[in-house]
Amino acid sequence: MNIDVKKSAKPVNYKDAIDVLENKVLEINKGKSNELIWLLEHPSIFTAGTSYRSSDIIDKSINLIKTSRGGKITWHGPGQLICYFVIDLNKRGKDIRKFIKVIENSIIDTLNNFNIDSTSDRNNIGIWFNSGKELKKVAAIGIRVKKWIAYHGFSININNNLNEYKKIIPCGIKDKGITNLKEIKNQDYTNISDEILNNLFKYLKA
């Protein structure tokens, strides 16, 4: 597989990152570029996917950026790992559902490596942790497919400020919570990006 891997040490502006992804889609479609997996962090920002509703905004003063990914409103910021990708599904059977399973299984296996049990949900996309009292989302997934090239990506909450989610109805879901890995299990997550990469490559090869 010709997949370039990029890791950004400093936070990357959201719009700048999306511009890179959009350009990469065009290049891959023309056969001029390798696929991409990009690990980064964003400065604090609220983003709205293509199916968001204004009623999902609780704090009307937030700075909201509309984006081309699927899904509704979420927050990105410090303490959250972002994994963007531009992956050519023309090479992978043009199967969107299978690709989403690749993402879900990669995240679940990664968290399992840190002794955290998590699960996907057919009705509510993302990765969830059962706290014993309620299901709480620990990872969000939002993709778009253009000419069978999948892009955007997913985020994993590590030690981010969960209070930011009180300003919105995250992903339009009212009856479930949001958590992060430090809240679930206070341990070292320094190498989580390497674990994510290993699992993504494992499932993309399958």
CATH of the domain at 119: 3.30.930.10
Active-site position among 39, 171, 173, 204? 171
Cβ atoms within 10 Å, residue 126: 26
- Please state, rounded to an integer, the average pLDDT across all residues of the chain: 95
pLDDT (mean) for 39-59: 94
pLDDT at residue 123 greater than cutoff 90: no
Tell me how many domains the chain contains. 1
Known active-site residue 171: yes
More confident residue, 171 or 192: 192
pLDDT in tens, 90-109: 999 999 999 999 999 999 99
pLDDT (mean) for 10-21: 97
Q: Residue 71: what pLDDT?
A: 85
In terms of residue numbers, what domain contains 54?
3-205
Q: Residue 127: what pLDDT?
A: 97
- The pLDDT-based confidence of 206 (bands split at 50, 70, 90) is low
- The pLDDT-based confidence of 175 (bands split at 50, 70, 90) is confident
